[in-house]
């Protein structure tokens, strides 16, 4: 039974949920989830290792890509423990403090991913629209400042909402809708006036979910106008191909992010499977697909990955020259 004040609520636990209606199959479902998390961790660690070990990749574009890989890595690690506990061991309880900590990391890394994608759109814009001034505009110091700005944006966007939510009493059902904690899920369990919290959450959502895609869209409108003025078809195709990986990286998280936000706010009568499906796509799929996309589309990254994966002939005595 939930007590009527927030201080006593901290001694209680929340109950996580796997996939509704498929409880008997959770052991089998743990296999694909384990594969997804393993692929995410290995793929993003590979991207970071390749960029770190190759001095020619210490450029703003690849520094931003490494930020995206670290963000995806953090997002996967933030949810892996509770998701695997639910599916492997049917361990559903999570403490009040641990749940709030998970909410902070999940939303912080989600917002940071949005900020990094916006910075990468700016990188594409400068590279195509102002190629001669690229090196002077996007310096390593300026790239580091963009990364710091992304961190500060997440800090000031997520922490106030958590402090506001933590002060409220939780006296409704303590069963969550997912195998991890989300702000949208916790706020439904509050038995007090949440008008201010909802307005603040809506403002943050507009700032991140609406403003960032809008700025990215404006960047690509300018990019497309510039590409349309290129004299040859080959140059236009080359420029579009260079932007394709970033376009895919933008669409992969934003489509389920918008869908999840809409379902939580307006789809109260939707099936629980819809919530679970969108939430898992939103958190797991981008972290898996981003390393694959950049490994396939970017020549330098692809070469670095192949160099790591392909054993050197000199490792084997029979391949050494005599």
- What is 11-307's CATH number? 1.20.1070.10
Question: What token pair was written down for 195?
Answer: 């008008």
Average pLDDT of span 63-78: 91
139-186 residue pLDDT tens: 888 888 888 888 888 877 788 888 888 888 887 668 887 888 888 788
Residue 239 Cα distances to 143, 234, 291, 301, angstroms: 22, 9, 21, 18
Average pLDDT of span 30-45: 89
The confidence score (pLDDT) of residue 309 equals 76
d(CA 244, CA 250): 10
Contacts of 108 (CB under 8 A, 6+ apart): 154, 155, 158
Average pLDDT of span 278-292: 83
- Cα angle 262, 250, 233; round to 5: 135
The confidence score (pLDDT) of residue 6 equals 42
d(CA 222, CA 122): 11
d(CA 228, CA 75): 37
pLDDT at 315 > cutoff 60? no
Which pTM was predicted? 0.84
190-223 residue pLDDT tens: 887 788 887 887 788 777 778 888 898 899 899 8
């Amino acid at each position: 039974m939930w007590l009527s004040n927030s201080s006593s609520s901290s001694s209680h636990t929340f109950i996580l949920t796997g996939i509704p209606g498929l409880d008997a199959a959770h052991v089998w479902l743990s296999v694909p989830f384990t594969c997804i998390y393993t692929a995410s961790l290995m793929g993003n660690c590979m991207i970071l290792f390749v960029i770190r070990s190759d001095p020619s990749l210490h450029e703003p574009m690849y520094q931003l890509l490494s930020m995206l890989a670290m963000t995806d890595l953090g997002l996967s690690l933030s949810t892996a423990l509770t998701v695997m506990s639910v599916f492997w061991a049917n361990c559903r309880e999570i403490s009040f403090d641990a749940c709030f900590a998970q909410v902070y990391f999940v939303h912080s890394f989600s917002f940071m991913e949005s900020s990094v994608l916006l910075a990468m759109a700016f990188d594409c814009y400068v590279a195509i629209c102002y190629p001669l001034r690229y090196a002077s505009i996007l310096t390593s110091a300026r790239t580091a400042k963009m990364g710091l700005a992304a961190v500060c944006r997440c800090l000031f966007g997520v922490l106030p909402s958590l402090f506001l939510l933590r002060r409220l009493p939780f006296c409704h059902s303590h069963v969550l809708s997912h195998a991890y904690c989300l702000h949208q899920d916790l706020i439904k369990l509050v038995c007090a006036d949440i008008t201010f919290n909802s307005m603040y959450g809506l403002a943050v959502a507009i700032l991140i979910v609406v403003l960032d895609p809008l700025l990215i869209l404006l960047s690509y409108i300018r990019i497309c106008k510039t590409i349309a003025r290129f004299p040859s078809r080959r140059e236009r195709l080359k420029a579009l191909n260079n932007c394709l990986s970033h376009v895919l990286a933008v669409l992969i998280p934003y489509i389920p992010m918008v869908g999840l936000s809409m379902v939580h706010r307006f789809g109260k009568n939707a099936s629980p499977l819809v919530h679970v499906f969108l939430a898992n796509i939103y958190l797991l799929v981008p972290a898996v697909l981003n390393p694959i996309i950049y490994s396939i589309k970017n020549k330098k990254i692809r070469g670095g990955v192949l160099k790591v994966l392909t054993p050197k002939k000199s490792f084997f005595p029979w391949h050494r020259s005599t």
